Amino acid sequence: MRVAQGWERSTILVRMGDLVENCLHSEGLRISTGSEYRCPLCDESMDLDGVGRWVQDAERSRDEAYSMVEGDGFGEIVREELQREVYRRRRVMYELENVPRVVTARPEMILVIHDAAKASYGCRIFYKGPRPAGVVEQVSVGAALERILELRSDPDPVVRLISEKVEEFHAFRAELTAGGAPAPERRVFYANEL
Ligand SMILES: [Zn+2]
């Protein structure tokens, strides 16, 4: 009996180990790009089907633990733990299913102003209709190509768009200046150019 219990215990530990070896996504999953959800801890990203499989993995581990162990105090703790994991993952999935995906706001107009004194570009971003919460409204960037290009890797698509537009304006101004002509200090980009 003791031998059997020992065997069961080590088997469970190995199985728990299998579970823990991969990231448990213990902080839940965040909405990422497109229809993807991402774990902030390990960066794994999955679609909703993937999240469903992640829940099923926990259910399978729990079911296996139930079929394997009988009336053992340690087994009881393991089963409760696995059951809690099932509930936790289901909760993560339900929450993701119920969060309306935020449509990334498209700017309606971008105003870029060159500040000669500060050697920078100031950008104001205007949106159509009621402005969604948390959108970028102002961006300031040094008037140097490398500064402008740094914004290309920003996680916010609006900031990346700003980078493109400022680069365009910066190149245009540089060309005029090189030809000895006065360069405009401001430029408005309308929706059809964005
Ligand atoms: Zn993870």
Alpha-carbon distance 35 to 31, whole Å?
8
pLDDT of 127 > 90? The answer is no
Write out pLDDT tens, residues 38-85.
898 888 889 889 999 999 999 999 998 887 756 667 778 888 899 999
CB proximity list for 154: less than 8 A, separation 6 or greater: 160, 163
What pLDDT is recorded for position 5?
46
- Whole-number Å distance, alpha carbon 44 to ligand 1 midpoint, is 6
- Whole-number Å distance, alpha carbon 39 to ligand 1 midpoint, is 5
Confidence of residue 10 (pLDDT cuts 50, 70, 90): low
- Whole-number Å distance, alpha carbon 81 to ligand 1 midpoint, is 18
- Whole-number Å distance, alpha carbon 25 to ligand 1 midpoint, is 4
- Whole-number Å distance, alpha carbon 28 to ligand 1 midpoint, is 8
- Whole-number Å distance, alpha carbon 42 to ligand 1 midpoint, is 4
pTM of the model: 0.49
Confidence of residue 3 (pLDDT cuts 50, 70, 90): very low
List Cα–Cα distances, 14 to 39, 78, 89, 180, in angstroms: 24, 12, 21, 74
What pLDDT is recorded for position 84?
94
- Whole-number Å distance, alpha carbon 26 to ligand 1 midpoint, is 7
Write out pLDDT tens, residues 98-116.
766 555 677 899 999 999 9
